[in-house]
Structure 1
């Protein structure tokens, strides 16, 4: 009989997946890491009892956090990824031929190594791409200390507990703003608002003092339980999230992307927020 993985993220609500075969389990320097096989979602990676990614549905998360800001911006040459140890975010960013360099800052080398070994389809060769600059470092310290500038910053963080907590602080958002080029875009992982509403409220309040345009967009990721997942959006150019479908479609065609979730129509529609999410943004 298969062992069950019982997710521990929420009190009173959760999900469980059969661990049909455990491929790796270890307490790393920073967190508890397990990779296992599941009949529905394929290979699954979890950190500290929380599902981070699966072979089955990772494309939703990775496509929406990369292609939305890159295509909305339209002239991206440099991308910074904070976190993203599985390599999926780097994979998607590197699909844009116009992107000259992707810098990825991951705190835990073990996550990268084990994902390369046990989840190679997610990175799909991204770690061997000469345009990828992988830094094993603390992402919060990196943005505080670097002199670099990026057109898009993607925060592919865990939830705001443990090592990921610092990536939801106002000081971190302020440091990210300093690292953006003029007209640059910051996007963040912001949880599932129905069960993690405080993440939307807190990020909205903490991003607001540093960016002229703060919003959220959504997508449904099956293993991120509770309905729509929210992605934070922050820039000084409000026009970037109001690009018409035709303009996004032209850029999408020019990038020659073949996606499983992302479409220009889904891009534009994702910014249309349900009322309960708008209420979490206080006066918005």
Structure 2
């Protein structure tokens, strides 16, 4: 590979990234994996031709999928991450000193090993943390067999194509629900609604029969073009999405976490949806 890499995730709309240097390009047991360097985004990982994470803006995605639900809940002790082989989500979750255990279920061990080798600026030393229970397994199968309860489940999946497709089904979400504690929260990545409206509508339609409170919240991540990205939100504890800025400020200060995107004010604002997105949720 040299020159430019073209991402065709959105059909008629293609995105091009200049490849300055290829670090890895090969087929794993489950998918094609490429890690390369780009002048704007730094190191970039793509799976089956679709950009997953970049060095320069990963903090937005990971902070919003990790810190927002943890601080909204206020007492998260056990976390389950489905996917997230790059380790960025794991690193953010482990910054919370009150989290006792994080179970991470990743299908492709090669993604983890290559992330530790080529993307240490994203995962840090998270994979060495004693609170981590790493499971190499299909996430859908893990949830079906799971008997534990978690305060927070984060579905850090690829798009609903290839290996990640099963993580966007009603059966999978139902299995997640049975593994949540009474006040537990399920959050999911649901793509860019402007281009991937069906993905968000589908997830919300599956959430509504099984959760008392369902919606999404949003963040703008430059890599994922086409507008802000949506994150699905499901819980039986009504009001968790409405925690006041004042309370969030107290919890955030107590966490002693430094962030580059997340703030209590951004947290509250993330649930204010544009009309076209609210219509998809409804």
Give the TM bin, normalised by the shorter chain. over 0.9
Counterpart in 2 of 1:13? 13
Q: Determine if the alignment matches structure 1 residue 168 to structure 2 residue 168.
A: yes
Counterpart in 2 of 1:133? 133
- Per the TM alignment, residue 14 of structure 1 is displaced from its structure 2 partner at its CA by 2.3
- Per the TM alignment, residue 2 of structure 1 is displaced from its structure 2 partner at its CA by 5.0
Counterpart in 2 of 1:177? 177
Distance in 2 between residues matched to 1:206 and 1:254, nearest whole Å: 35
Distance in 2 between residues matched to 1:175 and 1:169, nearest whole Å: 10
Distance in 2 between residues matched to 1:141 and 1:216, nearest whole Å: 25
Secondary structure at 2:8 match in 1: coil
Aligned length: 282
Distance in 1 between residues matched to 2:164 and 2:238, nearest whole Å: 28
Q: Determine if the alignment matches structure 1 residue 201 to structure 2 residue 192.
A: no
Distance in 2 between residues matched to 1:148 and 1:140, nearest whole Å: 15
Cα deviation code 1:191-229 (max 9, x no counterpart) = 000000001110010111111111000000000110110
- Note the residue ranges of structure 2 that are not aligned, 5 or more in a row: none
Counterpart in 2 of 1:240? 240
Q: TM-score, normalised by structure 2?
A: 0.99
Distance in 1 between residues matched to 2:121 and 2:5, nearest whole Å: 22
Secondary structure at 1:98 match in 2: coil
Counterpart in 2 of 1:256? 256
Counterpart in 2 of 1:191? 191
* Contact kept in structure 1, 2:66 and 2:92, CA below 8 Å: yes
Counterpart in 1 of 2:58? 58
* Contact kept in structure 2, 1:14 and 1:225, CA below 8 Å: no
Distance in 1 between residues matched to 2:134 and 2:16, nearest whole Å: 33
Q: Determine if the alignment matches structure 1 residue 105 to structure 2 residue 102.
A: no
Counterpart in 1 of 2:124? 124
Distance in 1 between residues matched to 2:280 and 2:207, nearest whole Å: 14
* Contact kept in structure 2, 1:77 and 1:101, CA below 8 Å: yes
Distance in 2 between residues matched to 1:238 and 1:165, nearest whole Å: 29
Counterpart in 1 of 2:34? 34
Counterpart in 1 of 2:155? 155
Counterpart in 1 of 2:272? 272
- Per the TM alignment, residue 12 of structure 1 is displaced from its structure 2 partner at its CA by 1.3
Secondary structure at 1:18 match in 2: strand
Counterpart in 1 of 2:231? 231
- Per the TM alignment, residue 279 of structure 1 is displaced from its structure 2 partner at its CA by 1.1
